[in-house]
């Protein structure tokens, strides 16, 4: 009996909307446009138009400060949206430093 070669699982690639770095979906944080505004999607499965950011601080700062996410999500971000993303980033930093 001959053994079948093992198949490698397909890894979906995503691109950071700021630095254009490509990597596996799980390396990025999904930002989603929803009826409640622009939110971080921790599950990666929320309904709505999504965009991906890598974990680098400069990418997050640029995404929040400029209109990069506006174009990617086809939305005009409010000040509330920007503050929500800043808080999400800060809480993510805290979780990373605890682990």
pLDDT in tens, 30-51: 999 999 999 999 999 999 999 9
pTM of the model: 0.84
Check the CA dihedral 11-95-93-33 and report its sign: positive
Which band of pLDDT confidence, cut at 50, 70 and 90, is reported for residue 97?
low
Which band of pLDDT confidence, cut at 50, 70 and 90, is reported for residue 92?
confident
Q: Report whether pLDDT(83) > 80.
A: yes
pLDDT at position 30: 96
- Give the chain's end-to-end CA distance (angstroms, integer): 47
């Amino acid at each position: 009996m001959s053994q079948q070669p093992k198949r490698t699982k397909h890894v979906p690639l995503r691109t950071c909307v700021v630095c254009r770095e490509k990597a596996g979906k799980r390396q990025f944080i999904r930002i989603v446009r929803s009826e409640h505004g622009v939110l971080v999607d921790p599950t990666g499965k929320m309904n709505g138009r999504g965009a991906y950011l890598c974990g680098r601080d400069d990418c997050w700062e640029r995404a929040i400060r400029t209109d990069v996410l506006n174009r990617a999500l086809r939305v005009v971000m409010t000040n509330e949206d920007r503050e929500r993303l800043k808080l999400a980033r800060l809480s993510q930093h805290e979780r990373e430093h605890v682990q």
